[in-house]
Structure formats: C-alpha cells, structure tokens
Structure 1
Amino acid sequence: MIARGTCHVFFAFLAAAKVDLERAQAIARARPTERPRFQRERRSPAYLDFDPPPLQITVPCAPVPIGSGRFATEARADVTIYDFGAFSVDYRVPFEDGLPELARLSSALYDHVGLLGAARERVVELVEAIGPALAGERLADVYEQYVVFDVASFDPAVPARELLAKDELRHAIAQILRSEERSLAESRVEDALRLSIAYGPDDLLVVDWSTALAVGGSADERLVLEFANAELLELRNLDKRLDQDLEEANRALQRRRRSLLGGAQLRRVARLQVDSAMLYESVNNAVSLLGDQWLAEVYGLIAERYDLEKWHGSIAHKLDTLDSIYQKIADEASARRSELLEIVIILLIALEVQWGRLFGGLREWLAAGAAGVP
C-alpha cells in the first residue's frame, strides 16, 4: 500500500520574551507573510481563534537531505512567530511510499542534527531581521520537535476506519509514530495508538509523544498541533525558570534579616512574580479553544499526551509559592516599619522631655541672673 502526502517537521524555539507581531510584520514586509487563522473546515464556533494571530513568514532555503538522500525537505520553510516569543519552523517533506518506508523516514527524522541546525539558522536569520520587534531577545538552546505525517490518499484506497482495525496496518502505523524500523510489542502498539480521533468516516488523527498521523486532515489540525508543541516548550522553560526564581526568592527571604526594611528584596521578588505571571498568562491565553468542538478535542488529545495539565499545575503551584514568599517579605517589612516607627516616636518623646528639662533649667538660670542672685 502506497501513502501519498506531506510530512511536516516542526521545530519550536524560544527567541524572545515578547514579540510585537504588528511591527514584526511591517519589518518583514519584503518576505511572504501571513497571519494564520483557523479556516474552520470542520464546524466550530466563530470565537475559536488565536489571540493575537501569530505571524507566519515563508523563507527560502536549501533542501535538507534525509535518510541517505532518499527524502529531502522542500526548498522553503514556514516560520510561525507567537507573541509570547516562540518561533516554530515547519519543514515539509513530500512522500509517496509504503508504510515501511515512512517508518524509516520517521526514524531518520528523530533527532536529525542537520535539520535541527538548519531550523535554528532560519530562526537566527529572522531574529536579526525583526530584532526591533522583539523584547527580551534570548534564543535559548532548548527546543521541541514534533512530526505530523499528513496522508492525502492511499493506493489502493483504504477507509480510514480500517487503519486501526487491521493488525498489519496497526503495527505499521505504530512504528511510524514511535520512529522505529523494527517491530513493536503489542503493548507498545496499543500505547502508540491509544489517542486517536475522527471527525467522519474518511479521516483519522492519531497523536503520540513526538509524531502524529493525520489521514484526510485539515490545516487547522496542524495549527493546533504546532501550537501545542510551542506551548510545551514555553511551559517547560517557564517551569525551569520558576525553579530559579524560587531559589532567588528564598535567598531574598534570608537576606531580609540583614536589611532594615526589606524594600530591595521585596522589589526583587515582585519583579520575578510579575514577569513569570505575565509570561504564563500570554501562553495560556494565546489560543481560544472554547466549547466541546472538534479542534478543542484535537487539542485535548495532544494536551493529554503531553500531560500539559501537569505542567500547568506545577507552574500554578510555583507561582503561588512565589506569591507566598512575597507576602511573607512584605508582612515582615511592614512589621519592621511599624517597629521602627514606634522607636522613632519613643525617641522623639524622650528627646522632647530632655529638651524640656534643658530649656527649663536654662530659663531658671537666666531668671536668677536677672534677679541678681549669685
């Protein structure tokens, strides 16, 4: 059986803390640009969309050979830029091969150093080109890769619903999803195929950790998968950053004993708290997938596979911990200010009493001198 379609290889990078997408589009006007939105090829609510829509820039590039030259990327790449600072590079690899060949392609794409390096070069070029639109420029070493095998047709034709019903096809698809050329145990096959969804009898989407298979899929589904890949990277980065912020906040909490008022420590923790909270909100609100609709279900599948709820829970807990440290420093600083104020008041009263005695004695001495008393 021959499958025809396109393999999309997504690489997500962190290149900035914030991106002014309008300004970036104006700077990149000499390049083909687009603000991708969901086309709603499946029925979905009108309020489902990106907020704000990311910026997609098409850049020409040399084809990258894959699998000993058996496959190669197209001579272009689409770079999607999100306002929260993530850059996603989409390389396309056309295919017209049997399922075993696609398993070999998937295996070759796994941790492909050449393709990763080429994707990073595309991001570096764009960062330099649209630099004025970036805030907190920081191209990090971390990245996330996700591969989508988008199958347009099979020859001979096979109903999508049969792909997971026949053992031979199930095992072949599992090998593609797990980037394995060798046969897999039935338990591995079941786990790889566990998360699947279909809108109709002629389409199918199966998502795994690093690879998805879409039969008769839409561009909307790829947008969701690409965004989820970038979201996972941002959440991983934010979680690690919060670990560092908590360490710094704890050091600030210890330094408060050596500070009279704790104002510097309070400001430092407040900055950490605000920066992290704003980044988390920008990621969390980047896409509106409301209601029990198709794309929300697609997002739910990849979110379950990525365990995004666990990442969100971890980040929320660390933000709460950071807030509690801030409150503790603030409360202690307030208590110290109150104590200092009480001390100042006592000193002023004592000073007033002493000045009163001093001036009282001086007045008696002057009065005695004026009366001629020796």
Structure 2
Amino acid sequence: MDSRPNTTLRGSAVGLFLFDICEEIRLEELGSILGARRLGEGLKHAAAEQLFFERPPVVEEVQFLGEAQARVRVKYYDYGVLSVLFEFPFAGEWGDLITLSSRWISGTDLPSRAEEIAKEKIARARPALVKPYGSWLSEDYFIFFMREIAGNPNAPQLLSSCGQQISQVVRGENAILSDDERREVLQSAMSYYPNDLAVLGWNAAFVYDSAAGSETTMQLLEYANSQLLEFRHYDELMTRELARVYDTVGQRSSMINRWRLPREASRLQTVLLDVTELTERADNAIKFLSDMFSARLYRLAASKVGVPDYKSLTQEKLRTAEDLYRFLIDEFHQSRTFWLEAMVVLILLIELAYVFHGKM
C-alpha cells in the first residue's frame, strides 16, 4: 500500500493477540533460552514523562513468512501472558481503513496464525514456564495508528470532520452509525497535544499520533488487555473452586464429611492466597511516574475492555471464598467440640458404671 503517493491516511494497522499460557514465566531464564532482549527502559511519552514495568517483559522479533513488510513481535509477561503483535503498513483512504477494520474485527486468519506462533515459541520456552495450562484463554485487540493525515488536522478538526469514519473504524462497521452511537464512540476520545488523538473502543482503537506517542499507547492497550486476560482466568478459577466447595458443603452431613472440612478449608485458603498474590502481581506490573496522561489513558483503556468488571467479579468471589473458609472452619470446630463433649460424657458414664458395679 505504501506505493500510493497521494493518500489521505498513512500509518499502520496492528493486530494484538494475547494468550494466558501459565501461572508464571521466569523471565531471566526465558531471556537466556531465547537470547531475547527485555523491555528495560521506560516508555517515553512525547511529553518526556515516563512509565515503567516493575518486571520488564521479554521481547522477541519474529519473521513472518509471506509478509516482508509486516512486523511481528512476541512479548512474554512474568504473570504468564504471552502476546503476539502483527503490524502492517497502511496507506489509503478512509473507506479503505473502514473496510480493513470491518474485515479484521468480523473475522481474520490472524488469531490462528498468532496461536501457531505462540505454540511454536512455548515449545522452546517450556523450561521457563511455571505450571503451564493445558488450554489457553485468549484476547484480541486491533489498533489503527495514523501518523499522517492529509491537511494535518488538529484533534478537534479531525473529530468534527471525520468523526463518523473514526467511529466506524473503532466499531468495525461498514455501515453508517447513528448519531447516538457515533457520540458514544467519540466520548472515549483523548488528546495530550493539539495534534494527537486516541479514540478507544472495547475491541479496537483509532490513534493519530507520532511514532513515539503511538508506541506508548500500544503498550498501555496491550497491558490493559493482558490484565483483562488475567482477571478472566482468576474469575474462572474462583468459579470452579467455589462450585466444588458448595458441592462439599451440600453433601449429607456425617462424621466423616465433617472431618474432611479442614482439608477443604486448607485447599480453599491456598487458592485464596495464590489468587491474591497473582492479582497483585498483575495489578502492579506497571508504574506511572508523574505521567498523568498515560495513567488516565490506561484507566480509559482498562474501562473499555472490561478490566474493572472482571476485577470486581474476582474480588467479590474472593470475599465469598473467605466467608466459606470461615464457615468450614467453624463447622469443623463445632463438630469437634460436639464429639469431644460426647466422649467426655461417655467416659463419665463408663466410670459411673464401674462405680455402681463395684458397689453391687
């Protein structure tokens, strides 16, 4: 596409695919296995403010057969998420971008190709994986970066003149959207400088910015989606554990079942501690140092993709699990107290029997 000299839009189209592959990735060991670099420096915004990864992920560039101009990058996060990024150069008109967005969002072969790359990489990286999962949860997100737009409009001009096209790109719709839907999409617009713009949706984003600013935005969107993936995993894990405990509690009460309660409580407590530790690790993986715009952009991205919703669900189930843990322990203590008291009574009865027998 880059061969077209007079086009309205120039930039790139990015497909981002994330997989939850294991509980933890030992990044130091992984870097040695792959010979790959780590994202060790802060991601600088154009305003020279910074954000830092607590444990910088390992980054690896990959060859994409058949697409000489495509950039393919694999990234490994310490909390068990692997991401595969495809970036293709784009040059064309608004109609071309809308068509591309609609085609990618409605269905493309990129997810299957990303999974193939992920499986190939994991086969080599397996020694660095802690508790690999048999099946993977996945997320995808599409970002359309425009670095040049004809006329060099500022953000207000771009929203005013091309708001309809931007909203169609973010929604992946070929059809014209209603005024209400267009306003809903454009409510998520953010700018730092007059000549940059980010409009975020739940599965796609339109970004008009420099290369440096675009890179920061992409890192934040990727991090938000990796968090979504982790909280989805924790939500499913807690759902399974709670269902198992409910089954145990719902079984017919018996002495044997009651004496199994400490084991169930111990297992539940272990899960609680593991999930709490892992959520804190995923939650605190990135630090914002005086970069309030990046912090606000991240909060918007997280809200759009659904991180707060799944985080709330996970926290609610953690509270439920804590209540169940206390209930199991209380039930066991009550059962133990009953049987201890019964044994004391039995011993007294036996002693009384011996006393009366002796008198007779």
TM-score with structure 1 setting the length: 0.85
Q: Which residue of 2 aligns with 1:250?
A: 246
Whether 1:35 aligns to 2:34 is no
Q: Counterparts of 1:167-316 in structure 2 under 5 Å?
A: 169-216=162-209, 217-255=213-251, 257-258=253-254, 259-261=257-259, 262-289=261-288, 293-316=292-315
Shift in alpha-carbon separation, 1:328–1:340, aligned structure 2, 3 A: same
3-state SS of 1:84 partner: coil
Cα 1:185–1:104 change in 2 (3 A) is same
Correspondences of 1:326-337 after superposition (within 5 Å): 326-337=325-336
SS of residue paired to 1:138:
strand
Q: Which runs of 5+ in 2 are unaligned?
A: 1-6
Aligned-pair CA distance for 1:143: 1.7
Q: Following the alignment from structure 2 to structure 1, what is the Cα–Cα distance between the partners of residues 218 and 134?
A: 24
**Cα RMSD for the two superposed structures:** 2.5
| Distance verdict in 2 for CA 1:211–1:3, change over 3 Å | same
Distance 1:135 1:141, change over 3 A: closer
Q: What is the number of residues matched between the two proteins?
A: 348
The 5-angstrom pairing of residues 142-181 of structure 1 reads: 142-166=137-161, 169-181=162-174
The Cα of 1:329 is off from its aligned counterpart by 0.4
The CA distance in 1 between the partners of 2:281 and 2:248, in whole Å, is: 27
Identity %, equivalent residues: 26
In 2: Cα distance, 1:102 partner to 1:3 partner: 9
In structure 2, the residue matched to 1:69 is none
C-alpha contact (below 8 Å) 2:54/2:285 kept by paired residues = yes
- Matched with 2:26 is 20
> Does the C-alpha gap of structure 1 residues 281 and 257 become closer, same or farther in structure 2, counting only changes over 3 Å?
farther
Contact 1:62 1:75 in 2 (8 A): no
Q: Following superposition, which runs of at least 4 residues in structure 1 exceed 6 angstroms of deviation?
A: 355-358
Q: Offset at 1:292?
A: 7.2
Alpha-carbon distance in 2 for matches of 1:74, 1:315: 41
Contact 2:43 2:52 survives alignment (8 Å): no
What is the Cα deviation at residue 319 of structure 1? Answer: 0.7
Which region of structure 1 is more displaced relative to structure 2, 252-261 or 123-132?
Answer: 252-261
Q: Quick check: 273-282 or 176-185, which moved more? A: 273-282
How far residue 204 of structure 1 moved from its aligned partner, in angstroms, is 0.9
Instruction: Decide which moves more: 349-358 or 325-334.
Output: 349-358
Which residue identity lines up with residue 185 of structure 2 in the other structure?
Answer: A
- Answer yes or no: is the 8 Å Cα contact 2:38–2:56 preserved in 1: no
Amino acid paired to 1:104: T
Structure 1 residues 117 and 229, CA gap change in structure 2 (3 angstroms): same
> CA–CA distance in 2 between the matches of 1:332 and 1:290?
48
